[in-house]
Structure 1
Amino acid sequence: MTETTGRPTRRGRPGHDREDVIRAGVQLFNQQGYDATSVADLTTHLGLTKSALYHHVESKAQILEIALDDALGGLESALQDALQRPTPAERLTAIVDGAVRVLTERQPQVTLLLRLRGNSAIELAALERRRRFDHTVTDLVREAQAEGLVRSDLDAGVATRLIFGMINSVVEWYRPDGPVDPELLGAEIRTVALDGLRPRHDAPQT
């Protein structure tokens, strides 16, 4: 994870480093909800005093900000990679594969992103970044429709939500130590999602 606030990164104390604190914070936020998690919950979970916790991070809000930036940064990087591909089909395939990869590699952070309610400036800023991501993916779907790769009778925004509804549902059941290979998972989701959106030659197109 990277610090994006422009503040210097603090060194950890023996027993816990900054990554431990952020990881524990994200875990508790996902279990209890961000608003319901107190600094006391964090210190109890980590076995730290408040002063020791604040040696690593400035606040629980900073933990949220760092985690959300990690999730969004991964998705945005995958999108930029997809945009470099030469054809609409390759771009759409690449963003589906990339999004699944980010979810499986950063599952706790993405889970936190998907559960945001917009109750703070940090959350609202993250939701705005996510909207920009969704709008760009919708443009990729429109490009694929123009090339005849996706059914033109579907609204591009709805098709995007359906694709990412399938991808996002993975956070509820995927386990890094489970039997599902993340690379195969991406291919399987891509097959189910994109094959279902392809035009049928016997179906009327609008």
Structure 2
Amino acid sequence: MTATTGRPSRRGRPGHDRADVIRVGVQLFNEQGYDATSVADLTARLGVTKSALYHHVDSKEQILQIALNEALGGLEDALQAALGHPTADARLTAIVDGAVRVLTERLPQVTLLLRLRGNSDIELAALERRRRFDHTVTGLVREAQAEGLVRADLDAGVATRLIFGMINSVVEWYRPDGPVDPELLGAEIRTVALDGLRPRA
């Protein structure tokens, strides 16, 4: 289905579907930068004509929009699920686990999100969604501080940036076909990131 109309995607050259176009587009954006990637680059990598490409997407901007929606939508869904937990500690734990899961499952899309420069309206809108996400997570840290579960001498905003700095760094080395189990990775990041926030005995 298309992102904007809900109509079934149109097929172009046999052997390529809309998912291929999105996947290759995101791959190219991550390799050489979104601004530096042209429609000609996309068609060359896919081995199709421009008209065949436009059977699947309206523009390279649409590829960017779809990819960012996949990354941000996953993070926002994880946050909503975390907010359903009964305690601040459980909510904070759940969002760390959820964010790591989204990153490992949607690695190319999240990598693209983290490399945005804000050079277009689509990018600026995505960055604003990311800021809202960070703001809500900072609120979870403050709630945990109020419950005595996180050190009160820490700035909640700084703590949030440090937690997600650790999570986001995974895009630089994690590989889905590598030896690191994603569930174990989430548990290890949670242990390292959150244990340091606990009040001293």
Aligned to 1:114: 114
Aligned residues: 200
Who is 2:170 aligned against? 170
Partner of 2:4: 5
Distance 1:179 1:186 in 2: 14
Whole-angstrom CA distance in 2 between matches of 1:6 and 1:199: 50
Report the counterpart of residue 73 of structure 1 in structure 2: 73
Q: Distance in 2 between matches of 1:107 and 1:148?
A: 34
Tell me how large the CA RMSD over aligned residues is.
Answer: 1.0
Q: Report the alpha carbon displacement of residue 3 of structure 1 after superposing the two structures with TM.
A: 4.3
Does the 8 Å CA contact 2:145/2:151 hold for their aligned counterparts?
A: yes
Quote the sequence identity (%): 83
| SS of the residue 2:196 aligns to | helix
Which residue of structure 2 lines up, in the alignment, with residue 204 of structure 1? none
Which residue number corresponds to residue 43 of structure 2? 43
1:87 corresponds to which residue? Answer: 87
Indicate conservation of the 8 Å contact 2:30/2:112, yes or no: yes
CA shift for structure 1 position 124? 0.5
CA deviations on 1:70-122 (whole Å, 9 max, x unpaired) are 00000000000000000000000000000000000000000000000000000
Counterpart-to-counterpart distance in 1, 2:159 and 2:104? 22
Q: TM-score, normalised to structure 1's length? A: 0.95
**Alpha-carbon deviation of 1:9?**
4.1
Structure 1 unaligned runs (5+)? 202-206
Counterpart amino acid of residue 191 in structure 1: T
State the one-letter code of the partner of 1:93: T
Of 53-62 and 6-15, deviating more is 6-15
- Provide runs of 4+ in structure 1 moved above 4 Å: none
